Amino acid sequence: MSELVASTSETSAPARFASHTSTAGSEEDVSNPQHKLAPFNPTDISAQQAGVKLLGLKSEDVLYDLGCGDGRFLFTAFLSNPTMKALVGVEYDRVYYERCLATAKSIPPCKDKISFIHGDVLEVDLSEATCIFVYLVPEGLKQIEGKLHEFLGRGGTRIVSYMFSVPNLNPVEVVSTKGACKVQLYDSTSLPNKSS
């Protein structure tokens, strides 16, 4: 499985957030098709802001977005607290990965803070992460359930999931967002053997 880690300074393409959705991967996808955890569908701004608020991001945080699309959640998170230690997006579709790089180039202050991995979420090492954002379909969340439980079990502090629930975790907070959607916060007390 190839995995490319890029700093945000690697691209010279113009910056622009995606304004359309697509369910098709590009020819240069790096993932196993069995690991398609969700089609691209961006989180709207009100849900991004609700997710950022729930995460309560601090200077020591390293935030991962697993399946980051065009990176918009990470850019919103960074702009909410530019003192964060690091933000990392994981995206297997080259088209969206390259949009992430292009947008990052247009926000110079994020150059040393935000990076993107062109790779498969299932293959990514989360040992540096302190908190995670996910927007994946239920079948996708099922595929990474073990990875997310392991993350919380080894000291990862919080996960925010937009729209769908992480299987077998009890949310500590649920916030309703536009269009009857929701963002849910999980922490180590969300694990099955830790809940009250």
Ligand X SMILES: C[S@@+](CC[C@H](N)C(=O)[O-])C[C@H]1O[C@@H](n2cnc3c(N)ncnc32)[C@H](O)[C@@H]1O
Query: Least distance from C-beta 39 to ligand X, angstroms?
Result: 6
Residue of 64, 96, 164, 186 interacting with ligand X (CB under 6 A): 96
Query: Least distance from C-beta 141 to ligand X, angstroms?
Result: 11
Per-residue tokens: 179? 């269009």
The reply to whether 64 sits near ligand X by the rule CB under 6 A is no
> Of the candidates 42, 41, 23, which has an alpha carbon nearest to the alpha carbon of residue 33?
23
The reply to whether 65 sits near ligand X by the rule CB under 6 A is yes
Q: What is the DSSP string of 40-70?
A: B-PPPHHHHHHHHHHHT--TT-EEEEES-TT
Per CB under 6 A, the segment of 64-72, 108-116, 164-172, 183-191 that binds ligand X is 64-72
The reply to whether 46 sits near ligand X by the rule CB under 6 A is no
Residue of 3, 6, 17, 35 interacting with ligand X (CB under 6 A): 35
Query: Least distance from C-beta 129 to ligand X, angstroms?
Result: 15
SS3 (DSSP) at 98: helix
> Of the candidates 148, 178, 144, 147, which has an alpha carbon nearest to the alpha carbon of residue 160?
148
CA distances to 49, 61, 127 from 154, rounded to whole Å, are 27, 16, 9
Residue ranges binding ligand X (CB under 6 A)? 31, 35-38, 40-43, 65, 67-69, 72-73, 90-93, 96, 120-122, 135-136
